[in-house]
Amino acid sequence: MIDSLINFLRLFKNIPQADAEIIESELSFRKVAEDEVLFEEGHICREMFFICKGVLRIVAQNDKGNRMTYFFLKENQFCSILNSFNNNIPSLEGIEAACEAELVVLKKQKLYNLYEKLPYLKELITGITTQSLLEKINVRNSYLGEDAATRYRHFLMRQPDIALRVSLSDIASYLGITQQSLSRIRKNMR
């Protein structure tokens, strides 16, 4: 299972088998159930997850006290709270499983060990995570000034697979509306 991370990295860069073994030795594996909390907001995030299977959500409390879903992450994506992870500051966001999931766990200290042993890894992984930040920004920007139905249609087009796997209430909170509104939107689309 930990292979899936190595295989993913090999899409970008050739990794000798010897290196792969070094990498594997620093990783662990974890299986989580739906709604399981992987990282609780308020703490300093010292883990990065690589998703082999399933969907995670990044959540946070907004001003009104509602729990909102900021992002969904799925197979072959890294998931962490980078601002907290990089800068050792408490996170305002938490990480939860939006459905059953299987993860490779990269502990910060072990990841940094790896960066020392295999310096190219640092560039590789920061490159990938930076790229995924750009995509996140892109999605959120594209929602700017759109009404809820349009945002939902965009979401369906961009992430059709996620739409099928997470709860309606998750999607609603991701789109910034209530469950009922989303259900109504769905009805009107038929």
Report in angstroms how near the CB of residue 178 gets to DNA at its nearest: 4
Interface region with DNA, contact rule CB under 7 A, candidates 18-26, 52-60, 82-90, 146-154: 146-154
Q: How far apart are CA 85 and CA 173, in angstroms?
A: 25
Name residue 97's amino acid.
Answer: A
Interface region with a second copy, contact rule CB under 8 A, candidates 19-27, 32-40, 41-49, 63-71: 63-71
- Sort 93 into a burial class: Cβ within 10 Å, 0-12 / 13-18 / 19+: buried
Q: Are 59 and 67 in contact (CB under 8 A)?
A: yes
Distances in Å between the alpha carbon of 43 and those of 50, 140, 187? Answer: 20, 25, 40
Tokens for 111? 């990841």
Under the criterion CB under 8 A, does residue 157 sit at the interface with a second copy? no
Under the criterion CB under 7 A, does residue 97 sit at the interface with DNA? no
Strand segments (E) across the chain: 28-32, 37-39, 47-53, 56-61, 67-73, 78-79, 93-97, 101-107
Interface region with a second copy, contact rule CB under 8 A, candidates 14-22, 55-63, 107-115, 157-165: 55-63
Report in angstroms how near the CB of residue 144 gets to a second copy at its nearest: 5
- Among DNA, a second copy, none, what does residue 107 contact (CB within 5–8 Å per kind)? none
> Cβ of 27: how many Cβ atoms within 10 Å?
18
Interface region with DNA, contact rule CB under 7 A, candidates 84-92, 121-129, 134-142, 175-183: 175-183
The binding site for a second copy (CB under 8 A) comprises: 60, 62-63, 66, 68, 70, 82-83, 86-87, 126, 130-131, 133-134, 136-138, 140-142, 144-146, 150, 173, 176-177
The binding site for DNA (CB under 7 A) comprises: 145, 147-149, 167-169, 176-187
